[in-house]
Amino acid sequence: MKKVVVNLVKTGFYLDSVALMRFSRAIAGMDEVEEAALMMGTPSNKKIMTEAGILGPEGEKAAGGDLIIGIRAAHQAAADKALRESLNLLEQSTVSREKGDTWRPRTLSAALKADPAISLALISVAGEFVAAEARKALQRGLNVMIFSDNVPVEEEVALKNEARELGLLVMGPDCGTAILNGIPLAFANKVKRGDIGIIGASGTGIQEVSCLISRGGGGISQAIGVGGRDLKKEVGGISTLVALDALDGDPDTRHVVLISKPPEPSVAEKILARIKASRKSFTVCFLGASGFELPGNAVLAATLKAAAESALGDASAATGFLPEKAALTPPEGKTAVVGLFSGGTLCAEAQFVFRQAGEPLNSNVPIPGVFKLEKNSRGHCFIDFGDDEYTRGRPHPMIDPSVRDEAIVKASANPEVGVILIDVVIGYGAHDDPAGHLATVLPPREKASPLIVASVTGTDLDVQNRASQVRKLEEAGILVAPSNADAALLALACLKRKGG
């Protein structure tokens, strides 16, 4: 039977991107469905669907405010079934919103009329509509969290400057994590309340540090995401500076953790000058960076784990883990480590741990799941499957862990790979059982199979329950470390034990 692509356009129908990604995952997982996506009909989304091979003539006609259902299936009957299920999911979502116990306003004005105390607007619309919606919120005196991406950097700068002049804060664009007044937003975790504040240009970085602090006996006052570009030269740390002002004036915050990949030196100078002027203590995690001259009220942490331990004031409270005691030996002749990550900052942290140990990294990874490792080169591969290259037309791997399934299978069969390093991220917005999914993907364990080392970012308070996720991984024969940095150290300890 001939493969078919079907499209259906729902004019003027909007759902937020997280809900659409969940629906896309469910449809793509149906029998004989090769690819599926439910997306708003913006030019950038239509490009993604074209590249994924699921956009047809009908979808091409969609406007930015229309919803496109795109399906590629093995045959027409499977496509029709998937289309019916897509419409069923959309109908259920609509009925749930209309008949739910909680009234959901359709406009910002209606929301403010119903509750004038609202102080934050969370925006999750197509990138080209973000600036207009954000300005509406700012003009009404609201702080803004922008979950959306694909926002031009010049618009980001303009919005953040406008917010600062109004005494407000813009988090994002591409801000995926925040915890404000104890309320987790987007991809965040359920953690204990406490007196440690976090400012982060990394969503998974905030998740890892907040969870380690919570599990180590501390708690979070506020966790403010600023977007991945905020500390770049073009933006200049505008929102980071505003967030520093906010936490400096927050009586419930004793200590502040700042998380970012190494910023531009000129931006770092401004940030560190503001920290110096504060009466509070700070931990600065410019991931893997060194050589920054910090003021007396701040310490530099090279990893997320070290940042959590610094904030707790105890170098062992976050994990208390000694990887050398748990090390096993990889199969004979297999000397490479492959890291398959859903979190970009977690991937960067693991790479730093390996570089610090003098281990070479191999960047020759042209496509997902293909590892061109030179024989006995000891060149290790680390891939961030949350990068746009791997998620075009598909949900993020934290939502749909199957994005890296092919890579896991191929790495397991690669004759050079001795250890596979994996992160599992749970919490709000994440897959309901990523450990269970991973266990079903792994090929049967054999003597020559590589060791698999993992960490679970989350807490036992999360709906997925971290302890349950760890147990499922261990039952599948996976070595589980208490933090992402510890997982990287454990992978290194396995190689060291081998004597390579």
Domain that holds residue 410: 323-498
pTM recorded for the entire structure: 0.86
pLDDT score at 65: 83
Give residue-wise pLDDT tens across range 30-83: 999 999 999 988 887 898 899 889 999 999 999 888 999 999 999 999 999 999
User: In terms of domains, do 280 and 307 share one?
Assistant: yes
**pLDDT higher for 367 or 164?**
164
User: In terms of domains, do 346 and 485 share one?
Assistant: yes
Give residue-wise pLDDT tens across range 113-160: 888 999 999 998 878 889 999 999 999 999 999 998 889 999 999 999
Give residue-wise pLDDT tens across range 91-102: 887 655 444 455
User: In terms of domains, do 356 and 491 share one?
Assistant: yes
Q: Which pLDDT band, with edges at 50, 70 and 90, does 371 fall under?
A: low
Residues 151-170: what's their mean pLDDT? 97
Give residue-wise pLDDT tens across range 19-28: 788 888 889 8
Residue 459 lies in a domain: yes
* Mean pLDDT (the chain, rounded): 88
CATH code where residue 301 lies: 3.40.50.261
Q: Which pLDDT band, with edges at 50, 70 and 90, does 323 fall under?
A: low
* pLDDT above 50 (res 376): no
Whole-angstrom distance, CA of residue 207 vs CA of residue 299: 20
Residue 179 lies in a domain: no
Residue 88 lies in a domain: yes
Residues 288-317: what's their mean pLDDT? 88
Residue 185 lies in a domain: no
* pLDDT above 90 (res 474): yes
* pLDDT above 80 (res 386): yes
Domain count, the chain: 4
Give residue-wise pLDDT tens across range 424-458: 999 998 999 999 999 999 988 887 789 999 999 99
